[in-house]
Amino acid sequence: MRYLMLTAIIAVAFMKSCTPVERDAYQAIVSSRAFLRSVSQQHPECASASSPVCTYLSQAVSAKDLLIDATEAYCAGPDFDNGGSCNPPAKGTPKAIQLQAKLSAAVRGYNQAAADLKGAIGK
């Protein structure tokens, strides 16, 4: 449920003007849902077994969750917290620099985890 709510909120933010880091996060979050669900359905053994595919799947899910958390931290503010658009921190402030760096790192982390998983399943 949290994932669906965040996706809807980010979609609203995306439709309005957003920064490249917000756009990258949005695209990664949206694409992660279908991809990770598909892999989970193709590999039901991952619910109770350990294999390289299962390990990569677990890492990708964790990276996606971290990306959602980083996006929530970056966008936190009165509008975003009430279901509106992203409230990024003021440009040039130490908080903005830190949160943007963390969000960018989370996007890269998810993209790498997804690429590793795709490699493990042969896509």
What was the pLDDT predicted at 2?
57
Supply angle C-alpha 17, 66, 98, rounded to 5: 60
Domain positions in the chain are 2-14+21-121
Distances (CA, A) of 14 to 88, 100, 107: 12, 16, 16
Residues of the chain with pLDDT under 70: 1-18
State residue 11's pLDDT score: 55
